[in-house]
Amino acid sequence: METAKMYQLPKLKYDYDAPAPVISEDLLRLHHDKRHAAYVNGANTILQMMNKSREDQADVDTRATFQELSFHIGGHLLHSLLWEHQQTA
């Protein structure tokens, strides 16, 4: 069985200080490098767990798993949209 594709933290297409003063460099680093990265890592951790459960033919709590996965993927997609449409100086 094919394994799920993992998510990746996208690189910004501009410098961290480019959107200032709309968003400061420190705040952009926090949201991109920490928070967005946490959503990506969280989604990938769940996907890896799901892959392992398939390999082991082990049961998972699908409701809780998909709820948590959608939370992380949602955070990843919303941050990706913001980075794509962020105004820069």
Q: Calculate the CA 65 to chain-centre distance.
A: 16
The distance of closest approach from Cβ of residue 64 to Fe ion in the complex, given in angstroms and rounded to an integer, is 24
Strands (E), the chain: none
Q: Measured from the CB atom, is 60 or 75 closer to Fe ion? A: 75
The site string for Fe ion over 19-48 (x = CB under 5 A, - otherwise) reads ------------x---x-------------
The distance of closest approach from Cβ of residue 72 to Fe ion in the complex, given in angstroms and rounded to an integer, is 13
Q: Measured from the CB atom, is 27 or 52 closer to Fe ion? A: 27
> Cα(79)–Cα(10) distance, rounded to whole angstroms?
10
> In which element (H, E) is residue 37 found?
helix 37-56
CB-closest chain residue to Fe ion: 31
> Cα(15)–Cα(77) distance, rounded to whole angstroms?
20
- Write out the residues near Fe ion by the rule CB under 5 A: 31, 35
